[in-house]
Homo-oligomer: A and B are copies of this chain.
């Protein structure tokens, strides 16, 4: 049993992580931390867990986690807070899967530009592996620090990787139109996510300015070996969970849908959580799962890729466990089917 701790236990990604890890045959949750002063029981914070777990949240102390045998930590802290807490753990030899954005962007200037604060932990930033298993899977087993990917980047990156890898499309004119459920905005109440404000409504937000843009571009540039640019427009949808991403790309030559499907199926032949289908996907079919569903269409010579996922599982906590499985040599699917 690998003894693990979860930092920042009060939000939605921590709840999903607990839900998955409680079923994991090789992980033992020994601590969950929270900045809340009253050390609430997890079952009070998350009534869904009542009857399954008896832990109370506790303040974060690196040494105490070590003393309890913790060797791997999942950080569900917000960005900024994560890079304040993670270094002490890494220095003590703990392995970290960080669900925040703090270690995702290799270039600290890009981080500063999009997150409007300087990066404080350049040493570890340089070692971090971007935890998208289908692209960076080889580096994950030996990583000490995995920067778990954002929710929007995954369908965008995985939806484009086969075309970008083969340089089949123009790399500077890619359009990524995403539709996300509201849980992606986190658990802190705000007017924009107040029920009567977002129910029965669709809206766009942060068009061209969303922080996941550089993350998408970094990974696709890695795949391409040259700079890739996307126009990214996220939309808020009145549902709890799910992201549906529609991607429009201009191919360098004519493709049939059959050729494209073949290309995608080959590319993802060993990826158990990427399902390439012929039908147009729907978020309901991957909700509650770690699958990322996708298909392709050709319209007036353009390639349209349609990809979807559960933003809390595949988009956060599920892929974190997928990374954990790779880090500790388990079957990638353990606790995820």
Q: Which of B191, B202, B233 is A242 in contact with, Cβ under 8 Å?
A: B202
Q: Is the CB of B248 within 8 A of A48?
A: no
Q: Is A203 an interface residue (CB 8 A)?
A: yes
**A52 contacts across to B, CB distance below 8 A:** 337
Q: Is the CB of A203 within 8 A of B283?
A: yes
**A289 contacts across to B, CB distance below 8 A:** 48
Q: Which of B182, B229, B246, B298 is A195 in contact with, Cβ under 8 Å?
A: B182
**A50 contacts across to B, CB distance below 8 A:** 275, 277, 285, 291, 293
Nearest to A192 among chain B residues (CB) is B189
Q: Is A300 an interface residue (CB 8 A)?
A: yes
**A304 contacts across to B, CB distance below 8 A:** 207-208, 231, 233
Please report the C-alpha to C-alpha distance between residue A286 and residue B205 in the assembled complex, in whole angstroms: 17
Q: Which of B12, B47, B300 is A208 in contact with, Cβ under 8 Å?
A: B300
Q: Is A120 an interface residue (CB 8 A)?
A: no
**A165 contacts across to B, CB distance below 8 A:** none
Q: Is A135 an interface residue (CB 8 A)?
A: no
Interface string of A178-209 (1 = CB under 8 A from B): 01011100011111011111111111110110
**A198 contacts across to B, CB distance below 8 A:** 195, 284
Q: Report if A208-B284 is in contact (Cβ < 8 Å); known contacts: A182-B196, A202-B179, A233-B246.
A: no
Q: Which of B179, B239, B275 is A235 in contact with, Cβ under 8 Å?
A: B179
**A337 contacts across to B, CB distance below 8 A:** 22-23, 52
Q: Which of B187, B203, B241 is A194 in contact with, Cβ under 8 Å?
A: B187
Interface residues contributed by chain A, number (CB under 8 Å) = 76
Please report the C-alpha to C-alpha distance between residue A175 and residue B297 in the assembled complex, in whole angstroms: 14
Q: Is A143 an interface residue (CB 8 A)?
A: no
Interface string of A233-259 (1 = CB under 8 A from B): 101011111101010101000000000
Q: Is A62 an interface residue (CB 8 A)?
A: no
Q: Which of B175, B196, B281 is A203 in contact with, Cβ under 8 Å?
A: B281
Q: Is A272 an interface residue (CB 8 A)?
A: yes
**A51 contacts across to B, CB distance below 8 A:** 272-273, 275, 291
| Residues 263-299 of A contacting B (Cβ, < 8 Å) | 272-273, 275, 277, 279-289, 291, 293, 297-299
| Residues 27-65 of A contacting B (Cβ, < 8 Å) | 47-48, 50-52
Q: Is A177 an interface residue (CB 8 A)?
A: yes
**A197 contacts across to B, CB distance below 8 A:** 187, 284
**A239 contacts across to B, CB distance below 8 A:** 199-202, 238
Q: Is A24 an interface residue (CB 8 A)?
A: no
Give the one of A197, A205, A241, A282 with max B CB within 10 A: A282
| Interchain Cβ contacts under 8 Å between A and B, 28 examples | A47-B277, A47-B279, A47-B281, A47-B293, A48-B286, A50-B285, A173-B302, A177-B177, A179-B235, A182-B195, A182-B199, A187-B191, A187-B194, A188-B194, A189-B194, A195-B195, A195-B198, A195-B238, A200-B239, A200-B287, A201-B283, A202-B237, A204-B246, A208-B299, A231-B248, A231-B302, A233-B304, A238-B238
